[in-house]
């Protein structure tokens, strides 16, 4: 497959991966609200968990927001790849026409457009790299959030020991949150590998 | 891409076709260019696969800035899917096309070229010092369709009417009309949907003084073969896919 075609497809696949990650992040946000409710019911025994539950909520919301932003960037990359694809197709055809045309024809008229398209190609490449870096950074940021959630989940399991009757619920919830964070990490890792392949 | 001059008295008509580099499984097409003074028009400039050889061929005759107009008889890809590429090199050109297809042909990519909608009743386009008449040919085969008549050269560009399907390397001109029928009969019966539209077109075209009828596929008709074609077409039942 042509590089532009690969990039267009990869960007669309990333948008789809992040859409799924966003759905998981929404579940994560609901779970964090549930955690907060249990912590309230557990009262003073679970005071340490209250901060943790708020933290979950905050990270889940940030992840939802980031996933939306990544979707937009991926869509921009996809559109941009199509423009680049068209531009390089035109350039290829003009170079072919130049080679096919006879030296005593009016072929000099083509070179002006070849130069123009090459210049445009450089601008597009520059802009494309900028968008790709933006995408990498955002994906990396989500990965960091997920790593943080992972660490907090371990801490909250330890804290849950002190909550007596609520321990079972809280441990189960922390494991659920950990599982969701892992799912999001998988989607993001897959997105990064798609991006690497298309570059 | 082979080029033949059809007319050269004050202004020129050229036909381009029989491209040896054409991919095997795409239909062969004829492209036409009319040059008058420092303006020229490409009639049905062709599909995206033909763009490079077409551009190389036209530049033998005119500098690129003199390609000022494009004409698309209808919306099909073999007619105008190269539009997105012409759009890159003819930023000031005008595309004459049936109004019906504007929203459709823009899918081929058109950011620079100006769209000039042709109203259903037809129009006249001025190129250099000549007038070209855009003759309605709706439903032959497309629902918004035009042909181009040049009253000075007495040439009718007839789009898909008169088209024939034959192997690459066929001659540009019909010789024996009766031998040519087999090559075009099914095309007209299957691609043309309406007997009423066909009769309406024949009535209109019989009033024109035509020396050459030039279709977008196959061979051109000259002299008495033009009338023979009109007689044959008049008697032909079309729209055969619906029994």
* CATH number of A182's domain: 1.10.287
Cβ contact, residue pair A117, B88, below 8 Å: yes
Give the C-alpha separation, B155 to B163, whole Å. 15
Which residues span the domain enclosing A130? 3-198
Contact indicator for B170, B18 with CB cutoff of 8 Å: yes
- pLDDT > 90? residue B26: no
* Average pLDDT of the residues in B196-213: 98
pLDDT tens, residue by residue, B33-63: 999 999 999 999 999 989 999 999 999 999 9
Q: Does residue A1 carry a pLDDT above 70?
A: no
Q: What is the pLDDT of residues B65-121, one digit of tens each?
A: 999 999 999 999 999 999 999 999 999 999 999 999 999 999 999 999 999 999 999
pLDDT at A165 over 70: yes
Q: Is B20 a residue whose pLDDT tops 80?
A: no
DSSP string, A119-184: HHHHHHHHHHHHHHHHHHHHHHHHHHHHHHHHHHHHHHHHHHGGGGGGHHHHHHHHHHHHHHHHHH
A-contacting residues in B 100-119 (Cβ below 8 Å): 109
User: Using an 8 Å Cβ cutoff, are B230 and B205 in contact?
Assistant: yes
pLDDT of residue A40: 81
CA distance A90 to chain B (A): 6
Give the ipTM of the model, two decimals please. Answer: 0.83
In the sheet with B39-43, reading across from the earlier edge strand, the strands are B2-9, B11-17, B31-36, B39-43, B67-71, B94-98, B114-118
For residue B229, pLDDT over 90 is answered with yes
pLDDT at A21: 87
Compute the distance between CA of residue B22 and CA of residue B4 in angstroms, rounded to an integer: 18
DSSP B40-55: EEEES---GGGHHHHH
Q: What percent of chain B has pLDDT over 70?
A: 100
Confirm if B70 and B42 have CB atoms less than 8 A apart.
yes
Within chain B, residue ranges assigned H as helices are 51-58, 77-80, 83-89, 102-105, 177-191, 195-206, 224-235
B91 Cβ under 8 Å from any chain A Cβ: no
Q: What is the pLDDT of residue A2?
A: 66
Chain B residues with beta carbon closer than 8 angstroms to that of A102: 56, 60
The dotted CATH code for B2-173+214-219 is 3.60.15.10
Return the C-alpha torsion angle B217, B220, B226, B231, nearest 10: -30
Asked if residue B148 has pLDDT above 80, the reply is yes
Q: Give the number of other Cβ atoms within 10 Å of residue B102's Cβ.
A: 16
Nearest to A97 among B52, B63, B109 (CB): B52
Highest mean pLDDT pick, A80-94, A103-117, B10-24, B64-78: B64-78
Helix pair B195-206, B224-235: axis angle to 10 deg = 150
The CA-CA-CA angle for residues B40, B46, B47, to 5°, reads 145
Please tell me which residue, B34 or B168, carries the higher pLDDT value: B34
pLDDT at A177 over 70: yes
Please list every residue in chain B whose beta carbon sits closer than 8 Å to the beta carbon of residue A106: 59-60, 62-64
- Six-digit token string for B20: 């040896």
Number of domains chain A contains = 1
Structure tokens at A72: 């937009």
Mean pLDDT lowest among A55-59, A93-97, A186-190, B85-89: A55-59
Q: Which residue is it, tokens 């960091």?
A: A144
Is the bond preceding B141 in cis, omega lying within 30 degrees of 0?
Answer: yes
pLDDT in tens, B114-144: 999 999 999 999 999 999 999 999 999 999 9
Residues of B in contact with A117 (CB under 8 A): 88
Number of other residues whose CB lies within 10 A of the CB of residue B32: 22
For residues A104 and B138, the model is more confident at B138
**Number of inter-chain CB pairs under 8 A, A vs B:** 53
CA pair distance A185, A191, nearest whole angstrom? 10
**pLDDT tens readout for residues A38-79:** 878 877 777 777 777 787 788 888 888 888 888 888 888 888
Which residues between 176 and 205 in chain B have a beta carbon less than 8 angstroms from any beta carbon of chain A?
Answer: none
């Amino acid at each position: 497959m042509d590089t532009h075609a690969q990039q267009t497809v990869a960007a669309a696949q990333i948008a789809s991966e992040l859409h799924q990650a966003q759905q998981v992040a929404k579940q994560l946000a609901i779970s964090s609200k549930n955690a907060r409710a249990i912590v309230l019911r557990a009262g003073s025994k679970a005071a340490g968990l209250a901060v943790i539950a708020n933290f979950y909520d905050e990270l889940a919301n940030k992840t939802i927001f980031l996933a939306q932003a990544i979707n937009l960037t991926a869509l921009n990359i996809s559109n941009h790849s199509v423009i680049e694809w068209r531009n390089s197709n035109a350039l290829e055809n003009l170079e072919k026409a130049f080679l096919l045309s006879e030296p005593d024809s009016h072929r000099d008229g083509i070179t002006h457009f070849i130069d123009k398209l090459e210049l445009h190609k450089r601008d597009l490449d520059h802009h494309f790299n900028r968008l790709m870096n933006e995408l990498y950074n955002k994906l990396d940021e989500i990965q960091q959030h997920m790593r943080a959630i992972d660490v907090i989940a371990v801490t909250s399991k330890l804290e849950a020991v002190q909550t007596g009757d609520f321990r079972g619920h809280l441990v189960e919830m922390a494991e659920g949150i950990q599982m969701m964070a892992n799912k999001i990490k998988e989607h993001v890792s897959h997105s990064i590998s798609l991006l690497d392949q298309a570059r | 891409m082979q080029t033949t001059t059809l007319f050269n008295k004050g202004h020129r008509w050229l036909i381009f076709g029989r491209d040896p580099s054409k991919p095997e499984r795409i239909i062969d097409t004829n492209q036409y260019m009319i040059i008058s003074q420092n303006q020229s028009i490409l009639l049905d400039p062709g599909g995206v696969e033909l763009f490079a050889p077409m551009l190389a061929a036209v530049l033998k005759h005119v500098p690129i800035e003199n390609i000022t107009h494009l004409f698309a008889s209808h919306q099909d890809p073999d007619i105008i899917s190269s539009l997105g590429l012409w759009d890159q090199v003819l930023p000031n050109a005008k595309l004459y096309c049936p109004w019906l297809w504007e929203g459709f042909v823009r899918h081929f990519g058109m950011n620079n070229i100006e769209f000039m909608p042709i109203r259903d009743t037809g129009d006249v386009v001025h190129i250099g010092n000549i007038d070209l008449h855009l003759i309605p040919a709706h439903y032959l085969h497309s629902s918004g369709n035009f042909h181009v008549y040049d009253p000075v050269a007495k040439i009718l560009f007839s789009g898909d009417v008169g088209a024939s399907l034959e192997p690459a390397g066929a001659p540009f001109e019909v010789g024996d009309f009766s031998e040519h029928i087999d090559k075009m009969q099914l095309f007209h019966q299957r691609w043309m949907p309406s007997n009423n539209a066909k009769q309406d077109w024949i009535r209109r075209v019989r009033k024109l003084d035509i020396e050459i009828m030039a279709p977008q596929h196959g061979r051109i008709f000259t002299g008495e073969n033009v009338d023979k074609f009109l007689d044959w077409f008049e008697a032909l039942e079309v729209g055969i896919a619906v029994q």
